[in-house]
Amino acid sequence: MSPKPRTSRKEAPNRREEIIQWVRKEGSLSYEQIQKRFAVAPMTARRDVAALAGQGKVVRSLRGATWVPPDGFLAEGPLWERLGKNLPAKRSIAKAAARLIKANSTLYLDGSTTSIELARIIARQRLEVTIVTNSVLVSACFCNASSSRVVQLGGTLNLLSGCTTGTDTEAAAAQFFIDVGFFATLGYIPGEGTYESFADTFRVKQAVAKRCAQVVLILDHTKFGKRSLNRVLEDATISTIITDRPVPHLKDPRLILAS
């Protein structure tokens, strides 16, 4: 495509819509292609891709953007649909979680969509911390520029969750001491604990939680009172609970409401 005349900030929505249509046709685009096509600065191209990725419209890669297949690939609802679902709540929970982070600490972030939002905040704020994760999507948040050290746990890649799992991952987790671990969940019953459905994923969470000085549960209000197939984390092991709305009849000193 031939370059267009330089565009202004007011034209960003139209430009981004064109990028969506373009990447849908091509499959992937580089930042350089976007920059040349729209005659914009390199940082403008990166901001456009970051904004579209935040909406779940594209996948941000190291060199540009990749099209999001409409059928997704996650069993618990398509991944990119989940990334965009209830996004304001996830972002507010992630902001509250970020306020708990201390410099030079070691953190674990699971493969949840809320943890991805937290990873984006950590990367954007250039927090000097060590991130341990089994999520390739969390790790990818730090590929552009970051002050954080990222440790990707090895193992077998689960194509449904985008996380490494299995005995190798569990063994790798046992080698670390984690200051604060951030865990999401499919369901949480006060007094009982958290619940998940996929054994290979929750076993990694259990292995990591044993290495955490503090376990922080990050979940929106819809997850309270729900069970799934397996209990993962016992309630007594949870140090802090961060959610987006008050939970009726629940008075727990561990509870933090995101603002």
Question: pTM for the whole thing?
Answer: 0.70
Quick one: pLDDT band at residue 74, thresholds 50, 70, 90?
very low
The two three-digit tokens of residue 42, written as one number: 């390199």
Q: Is 140 exposed, middle or buried (0-12, 13-18, 19+ CB in 10 A)?
A: buried
3 or 219, greater pLDDT: 219
pLDDT for the residue 57: 80
157-209: pLDDT as tens digits? 887 678 999 999 999 999 999 999 999 999 999 999 999 877 778 899 999 99
Cα gap 177→44, rounded to integer Å: 39
Average pLDDT for 10-38:
87
pLDDT at 29: 86
Which one is predicted more confidently, 32 or 58?
A: 32
Q: 């410099």: which residue's tokens?
A: 103
What pLDDT score does 1 carry? 52
Token pair belonging to 90: 């996830």
Across-strand partners of 256?
242
**pLDDT class for 82, splitting at 50, 70, 90?**
low
* Side-chain half-sphere CA neighbours of 116 within 13 A: 22
Least Cα distance to 117 among 137, 99, 144, 136 occurs for 137
* pLDDT tens track for 93-151: 999 999 999 999 999 999 998 999 999 999 999 999 999 999 999 999 998 778 999 99
